[in-house]
Every structure is written in C-alpha cells, then in structure tokens.
C-alpha cells in the first residue's frame, strides 16, 4: 500500500510519538508511507516514513488553499490517505477527497472520544464542528480508534457505521533497558496545556501527607501550559524539568523518573500511560474519561483517583513514593499493561488494516 499520512497538529510531540510506532510497524510489513506535516517546526520526523513532504508555505487562508490544492492534485497517486483527528484537518481532507470522482481510501486515526472533547470546549463554541462531524465522519472508509471508548463514541454519537470502526491498541515503544527504583521523581508525558492538569498535580505534591522525599517533576512534552506550570512550581518550591518528546522517551523516563502520573481531566488514547509502562514506571492518575480506566482495568494496573479528589491522589502518590512494596507491585502491573501493547502482540491487528491484495 502507498499511504499518505497527513498530520495537522503536533501537540508537543505527542502526535509524532504515536505516529512513530505505527508507521514503523507498517513499514516493516512492506507498506510505503509519505508523511505530510501541516505545521512546523517539529522536533523529529516519525520513523517508518519513506518520504516527507514540505508543509504549506505561509499562514492562514493562503496556506490552507495551497494545502487543499496540492491534496486535490496529488491524492490519486496514493492507495490510501490517513489523516490524524484534530477537529479541523480531517474535515478539510474529507471535503476534498469525497468530492473526487475516483479517490484513494479515506481513513481517520481517531485519538479521543469526540463527544467528551466537544463538551469540554463548551457547546456554544463547537456547533460547527459537531455539524461537520455528523456529516463527514460517517463517510470515512475506515476509522482507526486508539481506544475502545473512542470507537464507541464515534458510532453511538456521530453515526459512524460500526463496521467501519476498528479498535486499535497503540503499539508501544521498545521497553527501557533499566528498571526504575522507588523514589519521588514524578513524570508527566504528553501535550502540556492547561487541560493537562499539571498545576493541579503540583499542588497535590506540595501537600503530600506524611514524611517523604522532596518531589521532583519531569514534564516530557511541549505546549502552552509550560510557562504557567513553571510559575506555579516556583511558588510551591517544587523543582520542574522539561524534556522534549522523542522516540527514545522510554529510556529517558526510566533514567529520570520513579513513577508516572496522568493529571489530565480528559484523555483519549492513554498513550502516555503505555509509554510510561514501557519505561517500567508504576502508574497513577485521574480517572479521566475514558482511556485511563479502560487500559488500567479501573485501577487494577495503576492507581486512579476520582476527578476532583486531590486528597485521594495525594494518598496514592505518597504510597508509591514511600512504600517500596507498593512501588514494585504496580511496577509489575505496568509490565502487564506493556505486554498488551507490545508491538509483537498488536502487529497482526495493524497488518489487517489494509487489504492483502493491495
């Protein structure tokens, strides 16, 4: 298969890390992938891409028209077009391809439960997106949903036919070569925005119950929430280090952190939990809708606190920091989670996405 992969948002490297393992797996299966990033700069190009196209020049309407024109002219040279979900790019791509007389397969890589995400932005802000989603998403040939709740949401609330939606566990990065020891260094992974909830985590760490080592926070990713998080950390006296997301993130996590925390109140893929599991970190976080509860089996494979329950989160973090037995137990649970997402385990599912005769 000759596949065009269109990436609209970078999300601090989160989209690139997700693309990296998927594209590498498809490349090993003999597919040819062309990566088209629509925003720049980007810290790295996902592996597995045979070619990388230049992003549209300029900004605003001129860049959008350039992109749509190039897509219309070049789409027929590909067997399939895969577009990442970001509430803008997928609609533009669909409107172009669905208007062609002959066209490649139109596929969506779905990252989050759209209904929750739209509700979080406020209904008065998303009327147009909701209308476009209901009109265009059911016409995609395939939707690859990175969590079961994402698949269910698109079918139940946006009319995507169930037979076109595939639940696809994200192929995790390779396991880290070392096993982190107990300690008080906490890692957060992903797009650092106000929605990520880092400032709430910092306040929880500042009020941890009982004696414990001074916590340190490592933020792996980029985003507009970093300056505010730094200011809050300074006010609370908590050291914070920021690191870029890159394909070797599992090794970096294992070298710098002792445990992982997912503070976000809304989540989609749970990719950050899987990445931390690859690093051998015990997992804790908020029971955000909906991926953490799904992939952690409602708290069996990691500690989950209810939304709006900072005291509960504090108890979980204090226990993981102070008790080596609890740390080791949830470290083993994280290893089981990794096994469910190991590339060898999910390879056949990703191989089955494309027709064997292509």
Query: CA 14, CA 136: separation in Å to the nearest integer?
Result: 25
210/72 same-domain check: no
Note down the domain range covering 245. 185-341
Q: What is the pLDDT of residues 276-329, one digit of tens each?
A: 999 999 999 999 888 888 889 888 899 999 988 999 999 999 999 999 999 999
Rg (CA), the chain: 20
Same domain, 191 and 153: no
**304-318 confidence digits (pLDDT tens):** 999 889 999 999 999
Q: Are residues 257 and 331 in the same domain?
A: yes
Residue % of the chain over a pLDDT of 70: 98
Whether 34 and 69 share a structural domain: yes
Tell me: do 22 and 157 sit in the same domain: yes
Is position 227 within any domain? yes
Cβ atoms of 281 and 180 within 8 Å: the answer is yes
Model's pTM, two decimal places? 0.94
Does residue 178 sit within a domain?
no
Mean pLDDT of all residues in the chain? 93
164 with 199, same domain? no
Asked if 46 and 72 sit in the same domain, the reply is yes
Q: Are residues 28 and 161 in the same domain?
A: yes
Tokens of 185: 């260094």
Check which CATH number belongs to the domain holding 275 and give it. 3.40.50.2000
- Judge contact between 16 and 46, C-beta under 8 A: yes
Within a domain: residue 119? yes
Long-range contacts of 295-302 (CB under 8 A, 24+ apart): 295/147, 295/270, 295/337, 295/340, 296/337, 300/333, 301/330, 301/333, 301/334, 301/336, 301/337, 302/273, 302/330, 302/333, 302/334, 302/337
Q: Is residue 357 part of a domain?
A: no
Domain annotation covers residue 356: no
**Number of domains making up the chain:** 2
Mark whether 304 and 192 lie in a shared domain.
yes
Whether residues 34 and 123 fall in one domain: yes
User: Do the domain assignments include residue 176?
Assistant: no
Mean pLDDT of 197-218: 90
Residues 14 and 162 in one domain: yes
Instruction: Please choose, from the candidates 19, 34, 287, the residue with its C-alpha nearest in 3D space to the C-alpha of residue 149.
Output: 287
Can you tell me the distance from the alpha carbon of 276 to that of 283, in angstroms, rounded to the nearest whole number?
Answer: 7
Q: What is the distance, to the nearest Å, from the Cα of residue 97 to the centroid of all Cα atoms in its chain?
A: 26
Q: Are residues 126 and 246 in the same domain?
A: no
pLDDT in tens, 2-26: 999 999 999 999 999 999 999 999 9
């Amino acid at each position: 298969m000759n596949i065009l992969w269109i990436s609209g948002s970078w999300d601090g490297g989160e989209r690139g890390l997700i693309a990296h393992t998927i594209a590498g797996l498809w490349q090993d299966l003999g597919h040819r992938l062309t990566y088209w990033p629509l925003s720049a700069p980007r810290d790295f190009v996902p592996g597995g891409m045979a070619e990388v196209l230049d992003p549209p020049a300029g900004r605003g309407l001129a860049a959008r028209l350039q992109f749509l024109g190039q897509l219309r002219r070049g789409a027929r040279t590909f067997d399939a077009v895969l577009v990442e979900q970001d509430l803008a790019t997928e609609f533009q791509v669909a409107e172009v391809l669905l208007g062609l007389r002959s066209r490649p397969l139109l596929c969506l890589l779905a990252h989050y439960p759209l209904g929750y995400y739209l509700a979080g932005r406020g209904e008065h802000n998303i009327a147009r997106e909701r209308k476009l989603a209901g009109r265009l998403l059911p016409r995609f040939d395939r939707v690859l949903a990175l969590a079961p709740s994402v698949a269910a949401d698109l079918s139940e609330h946006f009319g995507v036919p169930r037979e076109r939606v595939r639940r696809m566990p994200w192929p995790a990065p390779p396991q880290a070569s070392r096993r982190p020891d107990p300690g008080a260094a906490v890692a957060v992974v992903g797009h650092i925005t106000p929605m990520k909830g880092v400032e709430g985590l910092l306040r929880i760490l500042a009020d941890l119950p009982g004696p414990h080592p001074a916590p340190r926070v490592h933020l792996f990713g980029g985003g507009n929430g970093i300056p505010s998080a730094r200011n809050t950390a300074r006010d609370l006296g908590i050291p914070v280090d920021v690191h870029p997301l890159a394909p070797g993130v599992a090794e970096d996590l294992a070298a710098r952190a002792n445990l992982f925390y997912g503070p976000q109140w809304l989540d989609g893929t749970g990719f950050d939990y899987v990445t931390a599991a690859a690093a051998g970190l015990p997992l804790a976080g908020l029971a955000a809708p909906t991926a953490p509860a799904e992939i952690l089996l409602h708290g069996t494979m990691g500690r989950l606190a209810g939304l709006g329950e900072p005291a509960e989160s504090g108890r979980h973090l204090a226990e993981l920091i102070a008790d080596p037995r609890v740390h080791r137990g949830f470290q083993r649970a994280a290893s089981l989670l990794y096994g469910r997402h190991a590339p060898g385990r999910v390879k056949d599912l990703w191989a089955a996405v494309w027709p064997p005769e292509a």
